[in-house]
Amino acid sequence: MKLPGPLHPLNEVLAFLLELAALAVLAWWGWESAGSIAPRLLIAVAAPGAAAVLWGLFAAPKARFRVPLAGVLAVKALVFGAAAAALAALERPGWATAFAVVVVVNTALATLDRRERTGV
């Protein structure tokens, strides 16, 4: 399914915004997950940092390692799933559900569109 006209770039922008949101949520969760300042800072930096490194290595458009589509989708599921779980842990179940639904729809559309455009 090839997305018509302006829907392709809009879906790509949404994908990027979801990636940024996932990193922000992981930082927020990290900050709220510890009592004192040092662990708060460590977790608030390490959680999104680990997600960003994982994404850059395997899921980014110019990823360091090219993996099959299943591997890319697994990394996306891990990062986005961690962000949704973090929202739930932050007692924002509605946000967690909404985030997960938007991520699934966006990723499905992007995957179908990419397959149509590249023939893969």
13-41: pLDDT as tens digits: 999 999 999 999 999 999 999 889 999 99
**63, HSE (Cβ side, Cα atoms, 13 Å):** 19
Q: How high is the pLDDT of residue 77?
A: 97
Q: How high is the pLDDT of residue 113?
A: 78
Q: Domain count of the chain?
A: 1
63-85: pLDDT as tens digits: 999 999 999 999 999 999 999 99
Residue 2: inside a domain: no
- Domain extent, residue 82, equals 7-115
Residue 93's alpha-carbon distances to 19, 33, 42, 83, 90, in angstroms, are: 19, 17, 25, 12, 8
pTM for this model (two decimals):
0.90
For the chain, percent of residues with pLDDT exceeding 70: 92
Q: How high is the pLDDT of residue 94?
A: 98
Residue 120: inside a domain: no
